Structure 1
Amino acid sequence: MATPGDSRRLFKLVQEGRLRALQEELQAAGVCQELAGDTLLHCAARHGHRDILAYLVESWGMDIEAGNRDYKRPLHEAASMGHRDCVCYLLDRGASVDCLKKADWTPLMMACTRKNLEVIQDLVEHGANPLLKNKDGWNSFHIASREGDPLILQYLLTVCPDAWKTESKIRRTPLHTAAMHGCLEAVKVLLTRCQYEPDCKDNCGITPFMDAVQCGHIDIAKLLLKTHKACFSAEDSLGAQALHRAAITGQDEAIRFLVSDLGINVDVRAATTHLTALHYAAKEGHTSTIQTLLSLGADINAKDERNRSALHLAYAGQHLACAEFLLQSGLKDSEDVTGTLAQQLTKKADVLQGFNLT
């Protein structure tokens, strides 16, 4: 039987919300212990047990500003899990509203990872600053854009109109993030209430339209084209366009949209490498995407600036199924500028055997 005050048992009682049993244990032990850096307050806040939270603070004088190994305080825990009653209790007891955990996350940032408007409102009304940024350069509005709740975004813009004027350390905006994660309603709010440049680029040259396309969110891509006048032929830092990025991620429906609906040349080349979408799909081993591109009229014999065909990239990536499909579709092996055949790029015996059998 566990001795009174055993830390694992105490934490289990808190987790299960068993206040009376906890009271008896603590009275017998006469001391509160930590477990792996957490205090019982962290556990109570994390699991939403306000009664236990109040008991530990008021009867045992536990410190509401105690930090665990990640520098999380009980307010971080309550906010991140959306436990409004615990959040309000801690705030009313004077908890620091903008305290920082590891990576410089505030309780408001943690709350914005949950779609709980009331908790966010409570924190803001107690002075939380929506403009603070974490170590990656994300403020609370940016984090909320990833989750995509339009009501939360509307609220943050109302209490802090400049919250949208933010970029991460790699220059990604909330519009990039919402587009990437498929948050259509959030994108609508951002386009209505914010003033992002149509083709704002991050450090890699990616635009919100590219993000939407490469993640398969065609509805958002259409909205960005119609409402935001995005450019579908914009290039990233390597000269690749949205079509190329869709080929990299294997987004076949997005490719059909770009080629069939928008009229993009299926064989358009990346500016710096002269790679086509077919090359990119082969490099990643996306056989179905290669099928899609060929059905849309892609040139199977297209070569890049080093005279490599899609077969070279398929074999270099050790993608046997992809290489076999290209060969069966009529692509012949040929030398690149160094005189290297595609089959010479394979490192796996079974891949080479597959080539010989084909």
Structure 2
Amino acid sequence: MSLKKESRTDVQFHLAALRGDCERLRQLLDTGKVHIDSRDRDGTTPLILSAAMGHTECVRELLAQGADPACCRTTGTSALFFAAQGGFLDIARLLLDSGAAIDAPSTDGGTPLFVACQCGHLPVVEELIRRGANVNACMKDKASPLFIAAQNGHEDVCHVLLQHGALVDCARADGASALWIAAQCGHDHVARALLAAGARVDQLRQDGATPLFKAAHKGHAAVVVELLKYKPNLGILPNGQSALHGAAMFGHLSCVKLLARRTDPRLRNAAGLTPLQAAAAARKHDVVAYLKRLEPHT
């Protein structure tokens, strides 16, 4: 899209929209020297600016004077996208009432629902879903709204998405599921909700790691507790390690304590090491001491 250079009046028009100066917007429009959907070098219109900044009255005025809610920046992001990102429910409603496309994606595939989920704006999420937003629309990397809500720890958003048909095991292109990313990030309440909704406890990422391995590797003991309720694989995984090896090598004693009594201490990883030997090689002395105390005395 080729964009012409902005005039001085265009710049003033955009500044008024950015600042929320509704009176100045009207004055400039009354001159007849600006187009309601004038664009800057990034394709941003005054409506997009006002929506992004949460200026409800400016959005209402611009829409009343004919601003097009379908206009997008060069990145494909619309006024509704930015309203959803900012959590501006009233603005989102105004835009939807004016015909804004509810699932219009950005160039990387992100929809208004996706960014509302990313930022944890539950009222906007609920409104978008009520109006028909696709809860399973994915980014180009296949990340779903549920995935991004789980990644950011928004348990309430996850519940709403699941209630409205979000696929619990939908995975990103690298195989990471919502449960996997919640485990990596240490969001135990999200992990609990996903598991209760039927998430596969041992779903693998492409590197062969399960949610339990990632939680143990990162030291997220509360997540390990939740995962253990669903009988995850405690053996050697396709990545060549067990969850106990992951916890032991990185010195996460709280996770080691949860896993050690459930895992065969003789398991050898891809390097041929037991969890105790792996901890020793990594100089995790407190883990070594703990694992040695568990060894049977002869």
TM range (shorter): 0.7 to 0.9
Q: Assess, with a 3 A threshold, how the Cα gap between structure 1 residues 218 and 54 changes in structure 2: closer, same or farther.
A: same
Output the CA distance in 2 between the equivalents of 1:278 and 1:40: 62
Report the Cα offset of residue 186 of structure 1.
1.4
- Which structure has the bigger radius of gyration? 1
Q: Which amino acid aligns with 1:58?
A: A
Q: Deviations over 1:76-97 (max 9, x none)?
A: 1111111101110110011111
Q: Deviations over 1:147-199 (max 9, x none)?
A: 33333222222221x521412212221111121222222112112122x3332
Report the Cα offset of residue 62 of structure 1.
2.2
2:230 is the alignment partner of 1:228? yes
2:121 is the alignment partner of 1:116? yes
2:286 is the alignment partner of 1:292? yes
2:80 is the alignment partner of 1:75? yes
2:34 is the alignment partner of 1:35? no
Output the CA distance in 2 between the equivalents of 1:23 and 1:277: 71
Report the Cα offset of residue 19 of structure 1.
1.4
Q: Assess, with a 3 A threshold, how the Cα gap between structure 1 residues 188 and 70 changes in structure 2: closer, same or farther.
A: same
Structure 1 residue aligned with 2:27, among 13, 24, 27?
24
Residue in structure 2 matched with residue 241 of structure 1 by the alignment: 242
Structure 2 residue aligned with 1:14, among 10, 14, 17?
17
| Secondary structure of 1:133's aligned partner | coil
Structure 2 residue aligned with 1:158, among 130, 148, 163?
163
Output the CA distance in 2 between the equivalents of 1:54 and 1:282: 65
RMSD: 2.9
Does the 8 Å contact 1:4/1:25 carry over to 2?
A: no
- Structure possessing the higher relative contact order (Cα contacts under 8 Å, 6 or more residues apart): 2
Structure 2 residue aligned with 1:183, among 184, 187, 196?
187
Q: Deviations over 1:34-69 (max 9, x none)?
A: 23311111111111112111222222x222111112
Residue in structure 1 matched with residue 257 of structure 2 by the alignment: 257
Does the 8 Å contact 1:79/1:110 carry over to 2?
A: yes
Output the CA distance in 2 between the equivalents of 1:71 and 1:279: 53
Task: Give ranges in structure 2 of 5+ residues lacking alignment.
Answer: 1-6, 293-298
Report the Cα offset of residue 257 of structure 1.
2.7
Does the 8 Å contact 1:259/1:296 carry over to 2?
A: no
Output the CA distance in 1 between the equivalents of 2:194 and 2:45: 40
Output the CA distance in 1 between the equivalents of 2:98 and 2:105: 18
Q: Assess, with a 3 A threshold, how the Cα gap between structure 1 residues 109 and 282 changes in structure 2: closer, same or farther.
A: farther
Structure 2 residue aligned with 1:65, among 58, 67, 70?
70
Q: Which amino acid aligns with 1:257?
A: K
TM-score (norm 1): 0.70
2:138 is the alignment partner of 1:133? yes
Q: Which amino acid aligns with 2:272?
A: H
Residue in structure 2 matched with residue 335 of structure 1 by the alignment: none
Output the CA distance in 1 between the equivalents of 2:201 and 2:110: 30
Output the CA distance in 1 between the equivalents of 2:231 and 2:177: 17
2:276 is the alignment partner of 1:274? no
Q: Deviations over 1:241-261 (max 9, x none)?
A: 22443466x453445435766
Does the 8 Å contact 1:4/1:28 carry over to 2?
A: no
Output the CA distance in 1 between the equivalents of 2:46 and 2:120: 26
2:96 is the alignment partner of 1:91? yes
